[in-house]
Amino acid sequence: MSLLGQFAAPVAAMMAQSKAMEVIGMNVANVNTGGYKRSETNFYTLLAQTYGNNHDIGGVRGITRSHIDQQGQILGSDSNLDVAINGNGFFVLNSELDGSGSTYYGRDGMLGMALGDVVSTTTINGNTITTREGYVVDKNGYYVQGWPVNADQKTFPTDEASLGPMRIDPETFTSNGEATTTAEIGLNVPSNAAVGYQESTFIKTFDAEGASKSYQLRWTNIVLGSHTQTMTPAWELPSITDGERTTPALPPSDPYSAFTATNTVTAYNNRGYEKDFNVVWTRSTTTADEWKLQVMEGTTALDINTSGNGSTDSLTVTFDPTTGAITSTPTSFSLQGTADFDEAFTFDLSSMTQPTGAGIVGAINQVSLANDGTVASAQKNKYSLEVLEDGVALDIDSASGDSTPKIMTVTFDGSGKLQSPLNLTIAGIATNAPTFTLDMQKVTNYASGTLIEGSYDFNGRSNARLDHVSFNASGEMIGHFSDATTRPIYKLPLATFTNPNSLDPVNGNVYKISGTSGPPVIRVAGGQGAGQFSPNAREISNVDIADEFTSMILTQKAYNMGSTVFQSIDEMSQVARDLKR
C-alpha cells in the first residue's frame, strides 16, 4: 500500500464515528419523544483487496441499526384519549379520512381529535344547529384506524378491510339508535320465602328509535292460575204451582209473589285468585215468570245491562211458563269486578231454568256452576313470571296454548337450577317497542330470603349524545353517553411485522413498510404475539440517556484517535516529500 493509501483508514474511521455521533445526537434529542425508538451504529471492515494475510487499502464503515422492537417506558396520562402499547405492535394510521392516503404505523399513543365535515343536528328544543365531525388522530394528524362494533354491541370484526377512521364527536350516534334484540339476566328468586311472596325487577332496553324502554319482571312464588272467562250457572229458579198462578198478574197476597234469593259465586281474577260475587234474584210481584237480576260486589251493584233499556245495574230475565226455559235476551252479559287484577268474564244465563210443578217452590236449586278459570296454588321449585310494559302485562306464553298467555311458569330443579324456560321472547306493544329474546339461564332458586339481582346485559344502542370516550386494555374504545350508559364503539387493532426493525422511518416518528420488514399482520390486542394496551398512558422513547453519554465518550475518543492517525500519516507524507530536496 502506498503512503497516500494509508489515509483511507483514518478518514473512514472519522466518517464512521461522525455517523455514530449523529445517531447518538438524534437519540439524545428524542429522549422524551413519545414512541421514539433509539438507533445505534455498528461497524464493519472495508478491504479493497486481499492476498494471503495481506490487504490493500482498508478502513471501516458505520451502519445504523434501529431498535424499533424494544419497549419504551410507559408513563401515566390524564387524557382519556392517550393509550400506550405494551408489547409488540403498532397503531395503524392513514393520511386521509377516506382511507385513500398513505398508510403509516406508529407507537405514540398521544391521540387527539381532528375536525371533519360540517353536520347539522336538531336539539331537544327542535332547533337546528351546525357542528363539525371529529375523528381520532395521532400527533401528525393522521387518522387512527379502528374497527366499529358489530350489531350485537359486543364483538368486533377482525379483518383489515373493516378498519376505518373513528368518529367521536358528540353527535356521532344521535341518529344511530338500534332496538334491543337480545338480553341476558342473572338473579335469584328465594326458595324459602313465605307463600304469596312477590317481588319485581326492572330491565332496560332500547326501542327502534334508540329511546330507553324499561320492562317490569314480576315474580310470584305461587303458580298463578287463569282468570274466569265464562261462568255458566245451571240453576233452577223456584216457581209457583199452576193452581196458584194468576194471569197476567199475581195478587199481592200471594205468598210466593215476593221472593228474593242471593247466591254467592266465586270467579278467578287474572292471577287465579278467588273473587266472590253475590247474585241476587228477585221475582216480580206484578208479572208472572219475570225476575230481576243483580250482581253485587260487596254492597255495590255492578253494571250488567248494556241494552239501553232500564237500569244498567239490573237485568230483567223471563222464562217460558210451560217449558221453564229462558226467553229473554240477552242470555249472557259481561261482568267485571273493580279490584286490581279483575278481568271481565261472561256470565252465561242460557242454562238457567224455571221448572214448573208443585215441588219446585221456595228456593233456588243450584244444580251446577261451570267456571273455566283455574285457581292459583303454591308449588315447590316453581315461580310465576309476568312481564309488564308501563303496567300492562304482555303475552309471554302464547305458544303454550293455555289460558294464561300473560303468565309464564318458571320451573327449577331441586338444586335451584333453572329447568324452563331457558329463553323468553318479549314483544313490546308500544310504538317502536322492541321484540327481544331474554336469556334466563342465570336465574336461580336458592334460599336467599329475598330476590337478589345479579347481572343484566343487553344489546341495542341509544341516540344519546356522546359525552366522552375511554380505552380498556383490549383496545376497545368505550363510549360514555349523556343518558349515563356506556358501550364499546370501536376497537384498536395492532399491526405486527416479521422484522419491525427494518421498517422505514418517516418524518413524524412513524414508519412505512420496507422491502425487508415483511407485510403487516393485523391482530387484536393480546392475540398471537401482539401486545396489550395501557389506557391513560403514553409510551415515551426507549433511549437510556446514560448509555448514550457512554457511547458518546467512546465515539469521541475513536474519532480523536482517527484524527491522530490521520495527522501522523500527514506528517509522514511531509517527511517523504522533503526527502526529494
Q: Which residues pair with 435 in a beta bridge?
A: 427
Per-residue pLDDT tens over the stretch 64-99: 888 999 999 899 999 999 999 999 999 999 999 999
Q: Are 512 and 504 in contact (CB under 8 A)?
A: yes
Domain 230-371 coded CATH 3.10.620.30: no
Asked if 440 contacts 219 with a C-beta cutoff of 8 angstroms, the reply is no
Helix (H, G, I), strand (E, B) or coil at 14: helix
The domains of the chain are located at 4-71+542-579, 74-150+464-539, 182-224+378-458, 230-371
Residue with cell 265464562: 230
β-strand partners of 234: 368
Task: Classify 182-224+378-458 by CATH class.
Answer: mainly beta
As given in the structure block, the three cell numbers for residue 305 are 245491562
pLDDT computed for residue 124 by the predictor: 60
For residue 129, give the 3-state DSSP assignment.
Answer: strand
**Which cell goes with 343?**
278481568
Q: Which helix (H) or strand (E) holds 264?
A: strand 260-268
Cis omega (within 30 of 0) for bond into 535: no
What are the grid coordinates assigned to 146, written together?
Answer: 379502528
DSSP states of 477-510 as a string? EEEEETTS-EEEEEE--EEE-S-GGGPEEETTTE
pLDDT in tens, 186-207: 999 999 999 889 999 999 999 9
Could you tell me if 171 and 123 are in contact, meaning their C-beta atoms sit under 8 angstroms apart? no
Residues of the chain with pLDDT below 70 are: 1-5, 48-58, 122-126, 240-258, 357-362, 398-404, 580-581
Question: How far is Cα 334 from Cα 341, in angstroms, rounded to an integer?
Answer: 16
SS3 content of the chain, % helix, strand, coil (to 5): 15, 40, 45
Nearest to 374 by CA among 500, 507, 224: 224
Contact 429, 407 (CB under 8 A): no
Spatial separation of the C-alpha atoms in residues 267 and 277, rounded to whole Å = 8
For residue 72, CA distances in Å to 33, 38, 373, 493 come to 10, 9, 75, 19
Instruction: Mention every residue, 6+ apart, whose C-beta is less than 8 A from residue 574.
Output: none
Q: Which residues pair with residue 488 across a beta bridge?
A: 478
- Grid cell 433509539 is found at 38
List b or e across 179-217, with b for residues whose CB sees 16 or more CB atoms inside 10 angstroms.
bbbbbbbbbbbbbebeeebebebebebbbbebbbbebbb
pLDDT, residue 246, reads: 45
Residues 324 and 292: beta-carbon distance below 8 Å: no
Residues 6+ apart with CB under 8 A from 525: 89, 473, 474, 475, 492, 494, 531, 532, 533
Distance, CA of 347 to chain centre: 48
Its sign, for the CA torsion 310, 316, 321, 325, is positive
Q: What is the pLDDT of residue 527?
A: 82
pTM score: 0.60
Instruction: Confirm if 277 and 265 have CB atoms less than 8 A apart.
Output: yes
| 98: alpha, beta or left? (left if phi > 0; alpha if psi -120 to 50) | alpha
Helix, strand, or coil (residue 193)? coil
Q: Within 10 Å of residue 569's Cβ, how many Cβ atoms?
A: 19
pLDDT of residue 242: 43
Task: Provide the pLDDT for residue 399.
Answer: 67
Nearest to 90 by CA among 40, 37, 41: 37
